[in-house]
Amino acid sequence: MFDTNPFTDLAKRLAETVPADFQLLRGDLERNFQALLQAHFAKMNLVSREEFEVQRAVLARTREQLAALETRVAALEQQLPSPPTI
């Protein structure tokens, strides 16, 4: 669902901030940071930019179709005979 590269980069930067005494644990910390970041972002129900753009295009097409249908219905309503008055 997510591009893991930003998580990898961020996890690496976080691991680099660890004091020198803990540098031996850096690989483990990087993996743990990455897993933690992915888990928290997954809970946020975020979508990728690509998914967003696809849905935006679908919505735009749907709006165009709706506008065309509204115009068509209005034209058909104009063609109907007037209802008789009672």
**pLDDT at residue number 36:** 87
Consecutive 10-residue averages of pLDDT for the chain (86 residues): 66 78 77 85 84 97 98 94 78
**pLDDT at residue number 41:** 80
**pLDDT at residue number 4:** 54
The string of DSSP codes covering 1-64 is ---SHHHHHHHHHHHHTS-GGGGGGHHHHHHHHHHHHHHHHHHTT---HHHHHHHHHHHHHHHH
**pLDDT at residue number 35:** 87
| Contact criterion met (CB below 8 Å) for 17 and 24 | no
